[in-house]
């Protein structure tokens, strides 16, 4: 241990003993709520400069973890596996501010909790949430972030400065009615004083990263927003003037795709200032070509990245531009606000003239992205062949929201990007050009690119969908489904009965490198319903394919699955299981996407009456499934179990073999605040007080 770190630990411990746990001097009431998911209790606290998410994991793999939106930082203690399940109970959570001897300020929380069994410390990890995520999955972290604990009485404290010497991180745990043993060659162990009496603990977690500025409900939601308390609380915890956070605990920072799609779906329920701040956060992170940043490395993770690259010491953000879908989301989302909403049209001129932190105007940044989109569409518009579609970037297996290694089944040309986002973006750009809103901001070269957008939109809209179409003879579909259902241990009777006699039509999830469709049924057709006006026959086919019973379609009692590999080969089926991050699992926002898309399509005046009737029936089916999963509504995703002929939701990430874990509060899972079920459906319990 270096002398510098020793001095830092001494200062930190002195601060703990001499500086009282004091509430920051803010007047507003704190945002404080809990969400229980399976064996994990999530407690959220936000007030003034303090925003923290505490997780207590019960079961045989106990854990204490606190994530902070400030700097996407956190601290966690992992305990050794227990032979019998342990059970946590949470008491009070309060804000804490620690002023160190060097005048540095750390913000965080102090919480009281109890647990019904001894705890043996395996390790503690402090720093970036990215490092904590890696440790949770891989069990390792960079050597330079290792932190040795210091004991004082019955308290064990891990504390260190940030790697560049800035204010750092601290986590401590103290037992009030027991003892702390171990040290040296022995593991640290917390033990209660009496058999049968829960062990009472005090947990402190702090970060020195710069706090964000909460938007607060008074600047976030309008009078049209739904009343569901948990969704409102989760959204408020994830919403800041500087940016929206993708989800907590694992993604407590900016993600471009998540921000844009959440803004689009939440738009009817958001105040203009929230929409504009969200759009501005995307625009200020564009690169010189106009690409949208997917993710950002900030805080200590940026320090680590700069070190690895051989740069001078710095915490300057590093942006990731590896994804391709978010580049084409910006134009349709901006059009939805600035061209389609009354508030947006009224505020458009002022917003476009708004200066970003770089000094560039919003209008100039939009023009740069629009020119990039228009230029990217040129090759396919000139020669509509698969090789000219938008491909995920060379050397990568991910490029859109299904961003796990197997999410596209090794596809190169994603359906959603090519069949929906590119033509939707080109159409939106054409509308902006016709309105003349960007004329003061676009360079002559950009203006020329924008002028070609509308014509190219027609080519993409007309030519792309057929490339992703797959027709399966009914006998082949039946054979594949029966084999797949047997392997999954589910009854295929309802699914088999839903098969059309003429054959099964599905939309492929992607094309492979040779332009061949990959026959994985998926939920991304919801994007087409939200952003396009498909012909009636195509619209009916897409909706029916998604809402047939699984494994013919995607619909289960546990919700709408995001993928169904029943018609693909055995290798793809194996990679798309219910423990895969983008496999046969349910993502809350994809249900909302389809609900919003159906609502939009039912407002069209050019559809036949028979089509509208079918869409209304589909809407009722979907909302019935949504109603079955209210307990999971703000979660990122969930899996399912099957028994007695029914599918039941199951928390994702709490079973052996699950690829990762799910966030309890996910930005785009709060979008139901802007949606209402059809009148004939049973509405969600808007006063649900369950944690």
- Alpha-carbon dihedral sign for residues 463, 464, 468, 474: negative
Name the percent of the chain lying above pLDDT 70.
94
**Confidence at residue 102, expressed as pLDDT on a 0 to 100 scale:** 80
**Confidence at residue 19, expressed as pLDDT on a 0 to 100 scale:** 38
In the predicted model, what is the mean pLDDT of residues 90-105?
A: 92
- Nearest-angstrom CA–CA distance, 328 and 369: 9
For residue 690, is pLDDT > 70? no
For residue 447, is pLDDT > 60? yes
For residue range 517-538, list pLDDT tens digits in order: 999 999 999 999 999 999 999 9
Helix (H) or strand (E) holding 57: strand 50-57
Mean pLDDT of the chain, nearest integer? 93
SS (H, E, C) 274-335: HHHHHHHHHHCCCCCCCCCCCEEECHHHHHHHHHHCCCCCCCCCEEECCCCCHHHCHHHHHH
Please give the backbone phi and psi of residue 41, each rounded to the nearest 5 degrees, phi first: -105, 120
**Confidence at residue 497, expressed as pLDDT on a 0 to 100 scale:** 97
For residue range 228-280, list pLDDT tens digits in order: 999 999 999 999 999 999 999 999 999 999 999 999 999 999 999 999 999 99
Tokens at 254, concatenated = 């900016």
Tokens at 660, concatenated = 């990762």
**Confidence at residue 686, expressed as pLDDT on a 0 to 100 scale:** 42
What is the largest distance, in Å, between two alpha-carbon atoms of the chain?
Answer: 79
- Nearest-angstrom CA–CA distance, 569 and 82: 40
Q: Between β-strands 637-643 and 504-507, what pairing exists: parallel, antiparallel or unpaired?
A: unpaired
For residue 4, is pLDDT > 80? no
**Confidence at residue 476, expressed as pLDDT on a 0 to 100 scale:** 97
In the predicted model, what is the mean pLDDT of residues 311-329?
A: 97
For residue 672, is pLDDT > 70? yes
- Nearest-angstrom CA–CA distance, 142 and 149: 17
Q: 125 with 158: CB under 8 angstroms? A: no
- Nearest-angstrom CA–CA distance, 332 and 337: 9
In the predicted model, what is the mean pLDDT of residues 609-623?
A: 97
Helix (H) or strand (E) holding 121: strand 119-128
For residue 25, is pLDDT > 60? no
**Confidence at residue 16, expressed as pLDDT on a 0 to 100 scale:** 43
**Confidence at residue 27, expressed as pLDDT on a 0 to 100 scale:** 52
- Nearest-angstrom CA–CA distance, 228 and 150: 44
- Reference 464, options 536, 517, 411; nearest CA is 517
Confidence of residue 680 (pLDDT cuts 50, 70, 90): low
Q: 542 with 529: CB under 8 angstroms? A: yes
């Amino acid at each position: 241990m270096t002398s510098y770190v020793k001095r830092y630990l001494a200062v930190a411990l002195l601060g703990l003993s001499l500086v009282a746990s004091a509430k920051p001097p803010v007047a507003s009431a704190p945002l404080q709520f809990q969400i229980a998911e399976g064996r994990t209790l999530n407690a959220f606290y936000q007030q003034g400069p303090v925003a923290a998410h505490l997780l207590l994991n019960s079961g045989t793999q106990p854990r204490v973890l606190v994530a902070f939106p400030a700097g996407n930082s956190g601290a966690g203690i992992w305990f050794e596996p227990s032979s019998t399940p342990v059970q946590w109970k949470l008491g009070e959570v309060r804000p804490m501010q620690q002023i160190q001897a060097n005048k540095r300020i750390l913000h965080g929380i102090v919480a009281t909790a109890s647990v019904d069994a001894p705890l043996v410390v395996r390790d503690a990890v402090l720093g970036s949430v990215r490092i904590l995520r890696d440790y949770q999955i891989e069990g390792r972290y960079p050597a330079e972030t290792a932190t040795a604990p210091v004991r004082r009485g019955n308290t064990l404290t891990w504390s260190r400065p940030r790697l560049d010497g800035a204010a750092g991180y601290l986590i401590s745990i103290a037992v009030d009615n027991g003892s702390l043993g171990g040290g040296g060659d022995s593991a640290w162990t917390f033990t209660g004083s009496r058999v049968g009496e829960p062990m009472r603990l005090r947990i402190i977690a702090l970060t020195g990263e710069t706090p964000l500025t909460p938007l607060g409900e008074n600047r976030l939601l309008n009078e049209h927003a739904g009343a569901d308390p948990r969704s409102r609380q989760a959204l408020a915890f994830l919403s800041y003037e500087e940016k929206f956070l993708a989800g907590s605990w694992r993604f407590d920072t900016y993600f471009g795709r998540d921000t844009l799609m959440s803004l689009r779906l939440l738009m009817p329920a958001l105040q203009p200032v929230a929409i504009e701040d969200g759009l501005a956060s995307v625009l200020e992170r564009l690169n010189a070509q106009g690409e949208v940043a997917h993710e950002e490395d900030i805080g200590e993770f940026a320090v680590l990245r700069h070190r690895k690259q051989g740069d001078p010491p710095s915490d300057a953000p590093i942006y990731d531009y590896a994804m391709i879908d978010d580049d084409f989301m910006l134009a349709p989302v901006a059009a939805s606000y600035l061209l389609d909403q009354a508030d947006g049209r009224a505020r458009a001129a002022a917003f476009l003239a708004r200066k970003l932190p770089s000094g560039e105007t919003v209008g100039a940044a939009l023009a740069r992205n629009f020119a990039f989109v228009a230029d990217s569409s040129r090759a396919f518009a000139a020669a509509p062949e698969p090789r000219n579609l938008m491909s995920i970037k060379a050397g990568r297996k991910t490029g859109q929201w299904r961003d796990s290694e197997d999410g596209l089944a090794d596809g190169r040309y994603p359906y959603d990007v090519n069949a929906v986002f590119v033509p939707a973006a080109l159409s939106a750009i054409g509308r902006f050009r016709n309105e003349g809103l960007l004329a003061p901001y676009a360079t002559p070269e950009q203006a020329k690119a924008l002028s070609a957008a509308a014509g190219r939109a027609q080519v993409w809209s007309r030519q792309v969908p057929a490339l992703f179409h797959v027709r399966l003879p009914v006998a082949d579909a039946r054979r594949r489904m029966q084999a797949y259902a047997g392997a999954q241990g589910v009854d295929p009777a309802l699914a088999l009965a839903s098969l059309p006699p003429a054959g099964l039509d599905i939309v492929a999830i992607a094309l492979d490198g040779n332009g061949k469709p990959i026959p994985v049924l998926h939920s991304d057709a919801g994007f087409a319903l939200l952003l396009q006006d498909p012909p009636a026959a195509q619209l009916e086919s897409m909706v029916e394919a998604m809402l047939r019973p699984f494994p013919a379609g995607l619909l289960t009692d546990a919700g709408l699955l995001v993928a169904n590999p029943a018609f693909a080969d055995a290798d793809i089926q194996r990679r798309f299981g219910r423990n895969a991050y983008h496999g046969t699992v349910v993502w809350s926002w994809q249900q909302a996407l389809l609900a919003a898309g159906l609502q939009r399509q039912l407002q069209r005046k050019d559809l036949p009456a028979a089509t509208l009737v079918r869409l209304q029936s589909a809407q009722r089916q979907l909302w019935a499934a949504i109603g079955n999963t209210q307990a999971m509504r703000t979660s990122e995703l969930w899996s399912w179990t099957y028994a007695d002929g029914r599918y039941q939701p199951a928390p994702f990430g709490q079973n052996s073999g699950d690829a990762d874990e799910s966030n309890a509060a996910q930005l785009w899972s709060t979008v139901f605040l802007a949606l209402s079920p059809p009148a004939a459906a049973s509405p969600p319990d808007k006063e649900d007080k369950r944690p």
